[in-house]
Amino acid sequence: MLVPHLGVVDLARLQFAGTTAIHWLFVLLTLGVVPVVAAFHTCAAFTRDPVRRAARERATRFWGQLYVINYAVGIVTGLVMEFQFGLAWSGLSKVFGNVIGAPIALETLVAFFAESTFLGMWIFGWGRLRPWLHAGLLWVVTLTAYASAYFILVSNGFMQHPVGFETREGTAHLTDLRAVLTNPSALYAFAHVSAAAVLCGGVFLAGVSAYHVARRSADRRFFLPSLRVGLVLAALASYPVYRLGVKQYPLLGRTQPMKLAAGKGGPRVAKLQDAMAAQHGPGDYVPPAWIAHAEEVMLRTGMLTMAIVLLAVVVVFHSALTRFPVIAVLFALGYPMTLVRTAGGLLPGVSERGRYGIALALVVLLLVLGGRVARRPATAWLLVAAIPLPFLASVGGWVFREVGRQPWLVYGQLTVDEAVSHVSVATMWASCIAFLTVFAALALTDWALIARFAARGPAGTQLGAPEPVDPITDAGEFARVL
């Protein structure tokens, strides 16, 4: 058996890349689904019609159970990630612990203490709390989830674009907390990630719902509202994801020009290499050229996801749109602009006018034939197949963001070689195999459980189900009362 000759730095990089990519998938689904479940629960809590209220509570419990499964398995990966920082990246803690330690600690407290506590109260609060208070608990969980994402991106934003600090005797000290908390590299990333999470959550809702529609299961009517909600959410999030992603490129041009240059290649790479060698000393400051492939995965897969979602919206809502001819005409003229902006890159050799013409023809065709297209199972199966696409695009973007700043861990301040722990190759091999094995097992467990409970439908929901009555105990209590 051939074992690749990898050093401590290579193994630490492999370990961090593998664990972060898997942990990232849990985070995306959590952030994308939890506000939807909170909205479902709030609607149920304030509905007086008992029939509608029962239907909305049923939807809350079904989607809430899938969210709880993902959160429960994903929280373990987060704990291991925290442990990994101390084991493999002690140099980072030693030099920049005074700056990034506080945001990471806040992220840990918010995610593992506040979020977990309120989620536990929500899980065990069914039938025991007032409806409005019970629904309010999940909104607190939602806020803490996004606060947790913000704090970890403050740490990551500092490593991408370090601000608000000064170095004394080889150790960084915080001098401007506001600059760190409002670092544009962190704020743009947080906004982009939040929109991407809503897009992922919407595609997940639409895909799971489409599965039951395609199979014409007994719960088909139960999933039609979720299908519409998922598609609307994904369509609304598509444009912010695109715009916020585009807005980060000028920032990269100012803060990390080598990342953009390395992806495109050309003579600018050599000029930037010479400039960085003159500023920081001899060394290789060019990230691997394959980050261009990660960027392509992010762009192409993201565009394909958005195209599927935006066209599916026309099919699912064609009846409502064509009911009012004026609205249908205005929609047919304006909607292709959104399609071209977000997914026009799928046609690289076509002019802007040509892309608009193709998008306009597609939208008009779907408005005319929407009924026939909607009745075909292939349409629903296309939404099921689209579930992994936004996650794949997001991982591609994360790889481009993280690997593209190599060889720096803290850009312009600390290289990966300087930040890695002084441990033996055998120790790093052992931790790498252990962490990646655990993460892979947790990911497979999570996906298997979600697929199993999603396929069962609302009949298999156990979250919030009434406790079974013990006939013996019940009979005894009855006799004692008499």
Compute the distance between CA of residue 156 and CA of residue 476 in angstroms, rounded to an integer: 60
Does residue 55 sit within a domain? yes
Phi/psi of residue 266, nearest 5 degrees: 100, 180
User: Is the overall model pTM greater than 0.75, yes or no?
Assistant: yes
Query: Strand, coil or helix: what is 271?
Result: helix
Compute the distance between CA of residue 83 and CA of residue 434 in angstroms, rounded to an integer: 13
Could you tell me which of 182, 410, 399 has the C-alpha nearest to residue 292? 399
Query: Strand, coil or helix: what is 309?
Result: helix
Q: How confident is the model at residue 218 (pLDDT cuts 50, 70, 90)?
A: confident
Q: How confident is the model at residue 468 (pLDDT cuts 50, 70, 90)?
A: low
Place of tokens 């803060």: 255
Compute the distance between CA of residue 411 and CA of residue 157 in angstroms, rounded to an integer: 10
pLDDT digits (tens, 9 = 90+) for 130-188: 999 999 999 999 999 999 999 999 999 999 999 999 999 889 999 999 999 999 999 99
Mean of all residue pLDDT scores within the chain: 89
Does residue 53 sit within a domain? yes
Q: CA neighbours within 13 Å on the CB side: how many for 287?
A: 27
In the predicted structure, residue 1 carries a pLDDT above the cut 60: no
Q: Specify the pLDDT at position 482.
A: 37
Q: Specify the pLDDT at position 467.
A: 61
Compute the distance between CA of residue 358 and CA of residue 336 in angstroms, rounded to an integer: 9
Give the tokens for residue 91.
Answer: 């140099």
Does residue 150 sit within a domain? yes
Compute the distance between CA of residue 235 and CA of residue 237 in angstroms, rounded to an integer: 5
Give the count of beta carbons closer than 10 Å to the beta carbon of residue 370.
19
Give the tokens for residue 61.
Answer: 């419990």
Q: Specify the pLDDT at position 123.
A: 94
Mean pLDDT of 238-261: 92
Compute the distance between CA of residue 419 and CA of residue 414 in angstroms, rounded to an integer: 7
Give the tokens for residue 67.
Answer: 């969210």
Cβ contacts of 29 within 8 Å, gap of 6 or more: 67, 70, 74, 197, 200, 201, 204, 391
Does residue 384 sit within a domain? no
Could you tell me which of 438, 427, 400, 405 has the C-alpha nearest to residue 11? 427
Compute the distance between CA of residue 55 and CA of residue 457 in angstroms, rounded to an integer: 14
Could you tell me which of 211, 161, 216 has the C-alpha nearest to residue 189? 161
Compute the distance between CA of residue 374 and CA of residue 379 in angstroms, rounded to an integer: 6
Does residue 325 sit within a domain? no
Compute the distance between CA of residue 194 and CA of residue 150 in angstroms, rounded to an integer: 9
Decide if 40 contacts 109 (C-beta within 8 A).
no
> Which residues are bridge partners to 415 per DSSP?
408
Could you tell me which of 335, 308, 320 has the C-alpha nearest to residue 371? 320
Does residue 299 sit within a domain? no
Decide if 311 contacts 362 (C-beta within 8 A).
yes
Q: Specify the pLDDT at position 466.
A: 65
Does residue 48 sit within a domain? yes
Mean pLDDT of 270-278: 92
Compute the distance between CA of residue 414 and CA of residue 111 in angstroms, rounded to an integer: 28
Give the count of beta carbons closer than 10 Å to the beta carbon of residue 462.
10
Total domains, the chain: 1
Does residue 141 sit within a domain? yes
Which residue range forms the structural domain that includes residue 452? 22-182+423-459
Could you tell me which of 320, 422, 343, 323 has the C-alpha nearest to residue 390? 343
In the predicted structure, residue 266 carries a pLDDT above the cut 70: yes
Compute the distance between CA of residue 52 and CA of residue 44 in angstroms, rounded to an integer: 8
Q: What is the DSSP letter of 415?
A: E
Compute the distance between CA of residue 359 and CA of residue 369 in angstroms, rounded to an integer: 15
User: What does each C-alpha distance from 433 to 14, 24, 113, 402, 446 come to in angstroms?
Assistant: 10, 19, 29, 21, 20
In the predicted structure, residue 14 carries a pLDDT above the cut 60: yes
Phi/psi of residue 199, nearest 5 degrees: -60, -45
Cβ contacts of 152 within 8 Å, gap of 6 or more: 103, 104, 107
Q: Specify the pLDDT at position 4.
A: 59
Q: How confident is the model at residue 3 (pLDDT cuts 50, 70, 90)?
A: low
Could you tell me which of 126, 129, 156 has the C-alpha nearest to residue 57? 126
- 451 or 467: whose pLDDT is higher? 451
Give the tokens for residue 462.
Answer: 């156990």
pLDDT digits (tens, 9 = 90+) for 281-317: 898 899 888 899 999 999 999 999 999 999 999 999 9
The full length of the chain comes to 482
Mean pLDDT of 340-361: 90
Cβ contacts of 135 within 8 Å, gap of 6 or more: 38, 41, 42, 44, 45
pLDDT digits (tens, 9 = 90+) for 368-417: 998 888 888 888 999 999 999 999 999 999 999 998 888 999 999 999 98
Give the count of beta carbons closer than 10 Å to the beta carbon of residue 240.
17
